[in-house]
Amino acid sequence: MRVDGVHHRTVRLDDDGALHLIDQPRLPHRFGFVTTRTVEETAQAISTMIVRGAGAIGATGAAGVAQGALAAPDAGFVDAVDAAADRLRRTRPTAQNLFAGIDHVLAAARAEADRPALARQAAVAAAQAWADADADACHAIGLHGAPLVQDGQTWATHCNAGWLAFVDWGSALAPIYAAHRAGRQVRVHVDETRPRGQGARLTAFELGQEGVPHHVASDSSLAHWMQQGAIDAMIVGADRIAANGDVANKIGTRMAALAAREHGVPFYVAAPAATIDPGCPDGAAIPIEARDGEEVAWTWGWTPDGRFDRVRTVPEGTAIRNAAFDVTPAAWIAGILTEHGLVDASPAGMAAVLAR
């Protein structure tokens, strides 16, 4: 990703276990990093959404297991690393990449468990390799998806599935970036994405840094713009894809897909293979995270006098429901774009990706 013309990764693990994460709640007004050095600090960074997005938390979970291996004593090494993995798994329940990243590094550490010094090195190397693979997969998604993006089109997106949601490049925005860098004129309709505003805050920030024309609109206006013919296609990311092609993504995605279906707008999903959960038969089996109602009741932002503060927008004492994700049926999806290309949102399509 580029910020003021300088390349950065969302997640970066040093050999000594220091993990550097872009501080996403501060965006778009302040760009900086948070450094975590322990499993607990890393788990808190995931839970509080200092880092968020399927691929980014997958790489962060992988790095957290490596931190656990570095801190584990020789005696009881496996138990200590297992405990680190268990703590990280409890941070967020929906994103499949988190569990895949944790399991990848855990397997590397366990393979050398009788030689703890080598196991620690193996865990760090595995975490760094997982992050590299995430960036490479997203780059490939961009290359495969760029031909879908035609000159002069407007593409809609929901939430943030770009650089900030992965180690680099992103999933849903990668084809947009690739097409833009190839010289095509493309505009992005950015859903605000309540309650945390990841579209308005993060996607708009990314697109601005890359120089991609875009505008922000309220979530509730999407169907209107589709009905007006102002949107040519829509592409979103995914936090978990079931074996039948059903997709869990940020709350509001199902509503967007339904509007796209009604108005004849192609609706694509972009995600690396690590997002597919072969053990999850369909969308009904995907666990949906319920987050604190405070996210709905309060809005954070920068005040005119330079303070990062929040204001309450919901009456005191009002009951709040805050589901973080919803499920879009495979039948509503025009195709799922992975690092292996565009496939059908179907059991056969998912099986073909996992067989690669």
Let me know whether 229 and 333 are in one domain: yes
Instruction: Tell me what pLDDT residue 300 has.
Output: 87
- CA–CA distance from 18 to each of 49, 167, 324 (Å)? 18, 16, 29
Instruction: Tell me what pLDDT residue 1 has.
Output: 86
Max CA distance (Å), the chain: 66
Let me know whether 136 and 193 are in one domain: no
**What would the pLDDT profile of 279-336 be if each residue is shown by its tens digit?**
999 999 999 999 999 999 999 888 899 888 999 999 999 999 999 999 999 999 999 9
Known catalytic residue at 86? no
Report residue 338 as tokens. Answer: 């992975």
Let me know whether 112 and 153 are in one domain: no
Confidence of residue 77 (pLDDT cuts 50, 70, 90): very high
Are 249 and 269 a contacting pair, CB within 8 Å? yes
**CA gap 343, 50 in Å, rounded:** 32
Are 267 and 261 a contacting pair, CB within 8 Å? yes
Angle between helices 77-89 and 116-145 (to 10 degrees): 30
Q: What is the mean pLDDT of residues 255-283?
A: 98
**What would the pLDDT profile of 1-59 be if each residue is shown by its tens digit?**
899 999 999 999 999 999 999 999 999 999 999 999 999 999 999 999 999 999 999 99
The CATH number assigned to the domain holding 134 equals: 1.20.120.420
Are 166 and 54 a contacting pair, CB within 8 Å? yes
The CATH number assigned to the domain holding 204 equals: 3.40.50.10470
Let me know whether 49 and 119 are in one domain: yes
Q: β-strand 325-328 against 247-250: which pairing, if any?
A: antiparallel
Instruction: Tell me what pLDDT residue 301 has.
Output: 87
**What would the pLDDT profile of 335-355 be if each residue is shown by its tens digit?**
999 999 999 999 999 999 999
Let me know whether 105 and 159 are in one domain: no
Q: At which residue do the structure tokens 């590094």 appear?
A: 105
Residues in the chain: 356
Let me know whether 178 and 316 are in one domain: yes
The total number of structural domains in the chain stands at 2
Let me know whether 176 and 63 are in one domain: no
Instruction: Tell me what pLDDT residue 306 has.
Output: 86
Let me know whether 98 and 208 are in one domain: no
**CA gap 319, 313 in Å, rounded:** 13
Are 208 and 214 a contacting pair, CB within 8 Å? yes
Give percent of the chain with pLDDT exceeding 90: 97
Let me know whether 301 and 164 are in one domain: yes
Are 46 and 92 a contacting pair, CB within 8 Å? yes
**What would the pLDDT profile of 97-139 be if each residue is shown by its tens digit?**
999 999 999 999 999 999 999 999 999 999 999 999 999 999 9
Let me know whether 101 and 209 are in one domain: no
Let me know whether 192 and 271 are in one domain: yes
- Annotated active-site residue in 168, 191, 219, 239: 239
Q: β-strand 247-250 against 240-242: which pairing, if any?
A: antiparallel
Confidence of residue 207 (pLDDT cuts 50, 70, 90): very high
Query: What domain range includes position 167?
Result: 142-354
How many other CB atoms are there within 10 angstroms of residue 307's CB atom?
A: 8
**What would the pLDDT profile of 128-167 be if each residue is shown by its tens digit?**
999 999 999 999 999 999 999 999 999 999 999 999 999 9
Let me know whether 189 and 179 are in one domain: yes
Instruction: Tell me what pLDDT residue 325 has.
Output: 98
